[in-house]
Amino acid sequence: MRRLTEQEIKILQSQNCIAEDWTQILVTDDFKPSRVRGVEFYGRVELGSMNGDIEVSEDFMKPCGINNATLRNVRIGDECLIENVRNYINNYDIGNGVLISNVCAIETKKDARFGEGTVISVLNEVGKGNVMIFDGLNSQLASLMVKYEHDERFTQNIRNIVRRNIERKRKDVKRGTIGNRVRIVNTQTITNCHISSGCVIEGASRLNECTLKSIPEASVHIGTGVICENSVIYDGSSILNNAKLENCFVGEACMITDGFTAANSLFFANCYMANGEACAAFCGPFSASHHKSTLLMGGMYSFYNAGSNTNFSNHAYKMGPMHWGVLERGTKTASGSYILMPAQIGTFSVCFGKLMYHPDTRKLPFSYLIAYGDEMVLVPGRNLTTVGLYRDIRKWPKRDKRSQGGKNSIVNFDWLSPFSVGGIMVAKRTLESLKEVSGDVSTYNFHDYVIRNSSLKKGIKYYDIALRIYMGAVMKRHKLERPKSSVGTGKWSDLSGVLIPLSEEERIVEAIRNGELKNIGDIRQQFIDAHANYAEYRWAWSYRLIREYYGIEGDITPEIAEQVQEDYIQARRAWIAEIRKDAEKEFELGDISKEVLDEFLKDLDSEVEFEKLKYDM
Task: Show which of 107, 124, 155 is a domain's final residue.
Answer: 107
Distances (CA, A) of 242 to 55, 252, 264: 26, 20, 18
99 part of a folded domain: yes
Contacts 24+ apart (CB under 8 A), 489-495: 489/540, 489/541, 489/544, 490/541, 491/422, 492/417, 492/418, 492/419, 492/422, 492/541, 493/419, 494/302, 494/328, 494/329, 494/347, 494/419, 495/139, 495/140, 495/143, 495/144, 495/527
Q: So what's the pLDDT on residue 320?
A: 67
Task: Show which of 107, 130, 161 is a domain's final residue.
Answer: 107
The total number of structural domains that make up the chain: 2
488 part of a folded domain: yes
CA distance 120 to 146: 10
9 part of a folded domain: yes
Sequence letter at residue 300? M
145 part of a folded domain: no
168 part of a folded domain: no
Which structural domain range is residue 531 located in?
404-569
In b/e form, how buried is each residue of 437-461, taking b as 16+ CB within 10 angstroms?
Answer: eeeeeeebebeebbbeeebbebbbb
Cis link prior to 342 (omega < 30° from 0)? yes
CA distance 381 to 388: 13
208 part of a folded domain: no
Task: Show which of 553, 569, 585 is a domain's final residue.
Answer: 569
Residue ranges for the chain with pLDDT beneath 70 = 172, 316-320, 607-617
497 part of a folded domain: yes
**What does DSSP assign to residue 608?**
H
336 part of a folded domain: no
Distances (CA, A) of 603 to 399, 597, 598, 608, 610: 19, 10, 9, 9, 11
Q: So what's the pLDDT on residue 607?
A: 67
Cβ 189 vs Cβ 206: under 8 Å: yes
Find the helix packing angle between 502-513 and 139-147, rounded to 10°. 80
The whole model's pTM is what?
Answer: 0.94
Q: Which neighbouring-strand residues pair with 169?
A: none
CA distance 563 to 560: 5
Cβ 344 vs Cβ 359: under 8 Å: yes
CA distance 107 to 88: 8
Give CA 47 to chain center in angstroms.
40
